Structure 1
Amino acid sequence: MTDYLSINRANWDDRATAHANSPDYRVARFAEDPAHLSDVVRFDRQRLGDVAGLRGVHLQCHIGTDTVSLSRLGADMTGLDFSGASLTEARALALAAGAKINFIQSDVYAARDVLDGEFDLVYTGIGALCWLPSVNRWAQTVASLLAPGGRLFIREGHPVLWALDYDRTDGLLSLTEPYFEQEQPQVYDEPFTYVATDHVFTHTVTHEWNHGIGEIITAVLEAGLTLTGFEEHQSVPWNALNGRMRDLGDGEWQLTDRPARLPHTYTLQARKPV
């Protein structure tokens, strides 16, 4: 396998400042409004329930908007990401927002080696799993981080969404990318990102993997966790299919034409048995 970590880290280092400065992440709102939460966390707030007092870790936290939001809900948060540039932005955000969060640089698979103790909550947000070659290894890492009774909470892009042909203009939904996990990555060279920015990117190549819903759920179960919730959604928190989606408000977008055709995202919850 190629050195996907170095290739992807260079890409995310390149994105960090552009994302922090983009109006889509609304970073300044965290300093201006002490009650402000990221769109992703606000979407799942009822599903999250009361997280006050929980020791939590946000894997693949990027610039920390969801991490700060969970902290504002009362969780004692740690953020982990492999991009040093992203963590620089995350620390600046936490400082401006008045949030006490420990940010640690590490690859997800090495999280158990760099994090102390066990956690009541392991949180993963949108657009994380596609950067990992093995969902089984991810689930085993999550289980190793959880305290007995602790829970996993993840909202992610649906693997059907990741498998679509994004360039079609005829309104049809066409599955052209792998749905199931493959040994070799899907290699893309794209000089843009998913938010509004004028930044000119220099590291444009990424290596990514899709993971089927069955593979994800099986990995969680085989890691010894008990599935406690699974819900598929008909919206996604970015304009995933440009020109074919409508803005629902609150940061959510939906396929304009017959949206019930497409599972956009999902929320999965699981617990580690006591």
Structure 2
Amino acid sequence: MTDYLDLNRANWNDRAQAHSASPDYRVEEFVRDPSYLSQVVRFDQPRLGSVTGLRGVHLQCHIGTDTLSLARLGATMTGLDFSPAALEQARALAARTGAAVDFVESDVYSARAVLDGEFDLVYTGVGALCWLPDVKRWARTVASLLAPGGRLFIREGHPVLWALDYDRTDGLLSITEPYFETSEPQVYDEAFTYVATDHEFTHTVTHEWNHGIGEIVTAVLEAGLVLTGLEEHQSVPWNAINGRMRAIGDGEFQLADRPERLPHTYTLQAVRPAV
């Protein structure tokens, strides 16, 4: 069987240039306005607090818009991703904006082997954990990257959202995909992406995994980190369920009918003890 990394890397290589060209990623806005921040990081700001002077790494950084945004808030940032095509776009964006951001090619589990030193902030954005088969291994990797007193910050799609049947037309929310981590991946073949583009994709098969909230929290705790925050949100930064969501501003969407039924995303924060 083809390794999941090879399949998923081919898919993200195929997406990278289309995402960079899509108006949804607002690359030209970053170039025009030196103060512009990604919608995702703007949402995160009240919870992030000041990152000025922090040494940070953004795991699974894709084309670098969130990485650049954190750098604009004062952090010294490194972005890490396994897709060379995505990193090509990230480096081009950094060059066009004059940002001093480093980008390193690696899968997440190998991050400790390719990154030097320890970090005050490990940041992960929405849509990252579903590409990883083992959330405990992810948490151990994060812990290995953090300096004493350093912080993990992740906003992610909620595992309930990932487990829904998106094809229902009767208004019901139905869980049909795994909520918990499974040994075998969910295999999808989808010739589209989550942003506006007319690009025709050729690498359409992906392998993905869900991870329950309890599994994620337990993984973080077992890795030796101290949980400092866990907040569930009633919005998500893309039109996650086509035809059933409404835009609520600042790039966020929520279920149009009784959104309180659905945890859309969550923010988790944890720190490595100082001693």
TM-score, with normalisation over the residues of structure 2?
A: 0.99
Aligned equivalents of 1:264 and 1:96: distance in 2?
34
Give the drift of 1:97.
Answer: 1.8
Aligned equivalents of 2:257 and 2:251: distance in 1?
19
One-letter code aligned to 2:134: S
Q: Residue 7 of structure 2 corresponds to which residue in structure 1? A: 7
- Structure 2, unmatched stretches of 5+, are none
Aligned partners of 1:155 and 1:265 also within 8 Å: yes
Aligned equivalents of 1:126 and 1:177: distance in 2?
19
- Structure 1, unmatched stretches of 5+, are none
Give the drift of 1:2.
Answer: 4.7
Aligned partners of 1:245 and 1:254 also within 8 Å: yes
Q: Residue 239 of structure 1 corresponds to which residue in structure 2? A: 239
TM-score, with normalisation over the residues of structure 1?
A: 0.99
Q: Residue 23 of structure 1 corresponds to which residue in structure 2? A: 23
Give the drift of 1:95.
Answer: 1.2
Aligned equivalents of 2:248 and 2:175: distance in 1?
25
Aligned equivalents of 1:127 and 1:95: distance in 2?
25
Q: Residue 168 of structure 1 corresponds to which residue in structure 2? A: 168
- Give secondary structure in 2 for the equivalent of 1:24: helix
Among all aligned residue pairs of Structure 1 and Structure 2, give the percentage whose two residues are the same amino acid. 80
Q: Residue 147 of structure 1 corresponds to which residue in structure 2? A: 147
- Give secondary structure in 2 for the equivalent of 1:58: strand
Aligned equivalents of 1:172 and 1:116: distance in 2?
48
- 1:26-45 C-alpha deviation (Å, 9 max, x unpaired): 11100101110000000010
Matched, 1:224 2:203: no
Aligned equivalents of 1:113 and 1:263: distance in 2?
35
- 1:205-262 C-alpha deviation (Å, 9 max, x unpaired): 0000000000000000000000001100000000000000000111000000000000
- Give secondary structure in 2 for the equivalent of 1:227: strand
Aligned equivalents of 1:118 and 1:99: distance in 2?
21
Aligned equivalents of 2:130 and 2:85: distance in 1?
20
One-letter code aligned to 2:264: H
- 1:142-189 C-alpha deviation (Å, 9 max, x unpaired): 000000000000000000000000111111100000000000000000
Aligned partners of 1:30 and 1:96 also within 8 Å: no
- Give secondary structure in 2 for the equivalent of 1:61: coil
One-letter code aligned to 1:262: L
Matched, 1:214 2:182: no
Aligned equivalents of 1:194 and 1:162: distance in 2?
14
The aligned length equals: 274
Aligned-residue RMSD, C-alpha: 0.6
Aligned equivalents of 2:231 and 2:18: distance in 1?
32
Aligned equivalents of 1:98 and 1:148: distance in 2?
31
Give the drift of 1:98.
Answer: 1.8
Aligned equivalents of 1:33 and 1:167: distance in 2?
39
- Give secondary structure in 2 for the equivalent of 1:30: helix
